[in-house]
Chains A and B, each alone.
Chain A
Amino acid sequence: MPHLTRPRPGALAWLLLSACCALPLSAQSTTIAFKGARIIPVVGAEIPSGTVLVQDGKIIAVGANVSIPANAQVVDATGKVIMPGIVDTHSHIGGGAGGDRSDPIQGDVRIIDAIDPKDDGIQRAQSGGITTANIMPGSGHLMSGQTAYVKLRDVNRVEDLLVCRDLMTEICGGMKMANGTNPRGQPPFPGTRGKAAALVREQFVKAQEYRRKIQAAGSDSTKRPERNLEMEALVEVLDGRRTVHFHTHRADDILTVLRLRQEFGFKLVLQHVTEGWQVASEIAAAGVPTSVIVIDAPGGKLETVGLQMNNARILDSAGVLVGFHTDDGITDSRWFLRSAALGIRAGLSRETALRAMTINGAKMLDLDRRIGSLEVGKDADLIILSGDPFSVYTHVEQTWVDGKKVFDLSDPRDALYARGGYDSIRDGIYEVHADMEDHN
């Protein structure tokens, strides 16, 4: 178990001083050295034993021979493995729901307004080493709302989870869409695939009109159309500034998504892509990235009977950018590394598996300049593992976001989120689980 060396007295005084004077956190210069670990930077070669140096939430050095400043807080990770924090490109943690049953297309709805930063799902995901997630509304709509790109920080306000800085001026997520069986239903929901595509097309055409009117108005605000929040979001989609995350399973449904994209030119990530292995060359030709779900068995619904463990391998071989996702609670964030491991079992290269869990996901969220690898200048999002990332015997021991520790397996309370039973603390089980310490 790695341990933190005590802060030097001077540093402690500085911490106290800054706390009492309510200085913004960025005003303190905190340097942390993670030393002794096998480092998997994902971008760049593995370092058998090295140091990651972090200052004020950013990585300032990675290497075998990094000199550790005297004032640095040292995390001894000797014998451990350090890799970038995991990126989950499709999750439902936070307890939120998006659109309601009033309409199949609700592009104005924002999942951010429904996420509880104190939801246990966030702590469970931290225990699984996830540091960044694309939290989405569900798949029961053609368009169920705007997604949120979040960092799994320990915060009270949902705004403080967001990767972006200003919700009012920046685009802080994508747009969730779905086809296939999930969005079907009684009117106004579509009853057939043809109708589903028609409804989406109609809405995008409206958005094109809306955009044309805005462009025609130019700087003359009196000529602008009335504000329409859904249209505004769809214009962001049409402009390629808001990525569409499209839930789709069957091969024909995947190709329908590619046709819609060709017609309207939006930026796209294919989500689930259960039968992607059947149309891998078409996906590759379109240059569209895919986020694959790994489920223990096919079926459970008609459009997932074609699920194969080698989906990621086939897509990767075809030249498609591949990531994975939890779809939490469909699969459990705590064991997300297992998804990539099962991909390796079915032939995916270890290198691609590592990228799929980190930098590839970051690319899909347009965050690869900030996260997804251990490189100088990137956010200090990293995890400390007890062993190889893809072994069943390996546990996530620590999770760090922006240079702050958000999960520590040696803390009995955190351990409960990793193992389960956290809601039975009130029954006095806390001690029982603490007994498991020797199995970390």
Chain B
Amino acid sequence: MRASMLPGLNSANLARKREIAKAREMDFCGLKAGSLLTGTPTLFARLRALVFSREVRGALLIATLALLPTGPLAAQLAIKGETVYTMAGRPIQNGVVLIGRDGKIEKVGTASEVRIPNGVRVIQGKVVTPGLIDAHSTVGLSGYLNQPHDQDQLETTGPIQPELRAVDAYNPHEYLVGYVRQFGVTTLHTGHGPGALASGQTIVVKTRGNSVQAATIDTLAMVAMTLGPDVSSAFKSPGTSAKSVAMLRQEFIKAQEYARKVAAAKADAPVARDLKLETLAAMLRGEVPALITAHRSIDILDALRLQREFGFKLVLDGASEAYLVIPEIKAANVPVILHPTMMRTGGSTRNAAVTTAKLLIDAGIPVALQSGYEGYVPKTRIVLWEAGMAAGYGLTLEQALGTITTTAARILGIQDRVGSLERGKDGDVAVFDGDPFEFTTHVCAVAIQGEVVSEACH
């Protein structure tokens, strides 16, 4: 799918990345908190960049540079495949992906086009794909022990808490991070889960790194929100769908008022910061998409109605009954991070169908697949297998791969780094010993930014 087919998010997300990059170059040391609150988009981006301090980044950079050899960067890893699905053009037969010491892809092509320098480690497999992207997960916040101490995906002290940051809760040492990685998942969009009107923020991480700083590639990906009966099960109020929408609408209006006051405030009389409204204001300005989990068709339409009223960038999540409202979703130009194909059905997800990915993609709606949130066993699902089931129910192999690579990357706004095997992108690669989606095929190697992170066949 071409980038232009993904409405709304692409250009905005790329612009957002540029802002962050620019903000990172600026000296924040002298900034006072109040000066962050002028309400301009770029300054919110600065706030986002401040999640990890400049000092930390500087130290990391120095540490990284110290490890690098002097002189021009050279290849460190070559991955050969009988079939290489680059997801940027046709699959390459007898292809090679050459990854440099900077962890970026240097070259992709046929074995005759790409010369592998002497001494470079070579990994081979039947099928090679980009590292897989789980477009929505709670891994790292919702631990596999499932005990109160390792469950950080849903705070139930209040139904609207968009100020909760995923970076304050993500545990890169969580067992399931390594577990999903061995099945080819190199990028996770994770964070606060479904269940609150606004449960908090999400981040995008690579499935490696000793700290959240080292793992994170987007410190504020989206604001996680939920509509429908699942919210009412966690809170005394809202108790109904109508109340849910009323509460959100009221909060959004507050955020608009807040942003207006901040913008109008004089430098010597700044408006007191409100982290909740600050986050919502950024969302309403379109700087951070709203990830709204809505399963029933009426909840999906509620989300679309809110989006029309307030003009934020919407990503539909879950969307069990999306097939009932395809024209409406299409008209609203929003992408869908669809529920796991093998999700348990019941309650708001009662009508989920394994064919929905196919129906939405046929209608031209961008679809990524997710592992979602699991409250019991299994504590996480594997997007590789969820996409496999979509392939079993009508998607072509490349369409199904797209739901966990390219399209996922575009919806998350990280397509400049991951999702396809192209020169300049991260060296994130999964190697299979057969059709990636067959139940009996193994993932035999996984690399993240050129580092081999999994080698046994799983």
Contacts and interface: CB of A to CB of B under 8 A. Distances in A.
Interface string B388-400: 1101111000000
Nearest to B147: A302
Interface stretch (B50-58, B128-136, B201-209, B350-358): B350-358
Interface stretch (A13-21, A207-215, A236-244, A426-434): A426-434
A427 B350 CA distance: 14
Contacts of A419: 353-355, 393
Contact of A296 (B321, B346, B359, B380): B380
B378 A420 contact: no
B345 to A, nearest CB: 6
Interface stretch (A27-35, A185-193, A336-344, A364-372): A336-344
A341 B388 CA distance: 13
Nearest to A429: B324
A297 B391 contact: no
A125 to B, nearest CB: 14
Interface stretch (B41-49, B83-91, B155-163, B437-445): B437-445
B361 to A, nearest CB: 13
A298 B179 CA distance: 9
Interface string A369-399: 0000000000000000000001111110000
Nearest to A328: B344
Contact of B324 (A300, A335, A342, A424): A424
Nearest to B146: A300
B323 interface: yes
A297 B379 contact: yes
Contacts of B394: 436, 439
Interface string A391-422: 11111000000000000000000000001111
B377 A423 contact: no
A395 B382 CA distance: 21
A335 B342 contact: yes
Contacts, number: 120
A295 B377 contact: yes
B358 A300 contact: no
Contact of A420 (B352, B381, B391): B352
Contacts of A420: 345, 351-355
Interface string A266-309: 00000000000000000000000000000111111110110000
A392 B388 contact: yes
Contacts of B323: 421, 429, 432
Contact of A439 (B145, B346, B389, B393): B393
B348 to A, nearest CB: 12
B176 interface: yes
A421 to B, nearest CB: 4
B352 A299 contact: no
B353 A297 contact: no
Contacts of B391: 392-393
A396 to B, nearest CB: 12
B374 A300 contact: yes
B28 interface: no
A393 B392 CA distance: 4
Interface in B397-426: none
Contacts of A299: 143-146, 175-176, 377-379
A305 B143 CA distance: 11
Contact of A300 (B350, B354, B355, B377): B377
Contact of A344 (B379, B388, B439): B439
A335 B388 CA distance: 12
B235 interface: no
A338 B388 CA distance: 11
Contact of B179 (A297, A329, A338, A423): A297
Nearest to B385: A296
A159 interface: no
Given A296-B380, A335-B389, A392 B345 contact: no
A345 interface: yes
Contact of A392 (B351, B378, B381, B439): B439
A332 interface: yes
A330 interface: yes
Interface residues of B, number: 46
Nearest to B176: A297
Contacts of A304: 377
A407 to B, nearest CB: 16
B335 to A, nearest CB: 20
B376 A392 contact: no
A300 B353 contact: no
B439 A300 contact: no
A332 B353 contact: no
Contact of A436 (B176, B297, B358): B358
Contacts of A301: 146, 376-377
Contacts of A423: 350-351
Nearest to A353: B440
B295 to A, nearest CB: 12
B313 to A, nearest CB: 28
B382 to A, nearest CB: 6
A341 B392 CA distance: 14
B442 A300 contact: no
B376 A341 contact: no
Contact of B439 (A298, A345, A427): A345
Nearest to A438: B394
Nearest to A301: B146
Nearest to B297: A427
A300 B139 CA distance: 12
A286 B441 CA distance: 34
Contacts of A421: 323, 351-353, 355
Contacts of A342: 439
Interface string B133-176: 00000000001111100000000000000000000000000011
A429 B354 CA distance: 14
A393 B382 CA distance: 18
Contacts of B147: 302
A178 B176 CA distance: 27
A139 B314 CA distance: 42
B351 A424 contact: yes
Contacts of B321: 424
Nearest to B144: A299
A299 B379 CA distance: 6
Given A338-B439, A420-B352, A421-B351, 14 more contacts: A297-B380, A299-B145, A299-B377, A300-B146, A300-B377, A305-B145, A332-B342, A335-B389, A341-B439, A344-B439, A419-B354, A436-B358, A439-B358, A439-B393
21 contacts: A296-B382, A296-B385, A297-B176, A299-B377, A300-B374, A300-B379, A332-B344, A335-B389, A338-B439, A341-B440, A345-B440, A392-B391, A393-B392, A419-B393, A420-B353, A421-B353, A424-B324, A436-B355, A436-B358, A436-B394, A439-B358
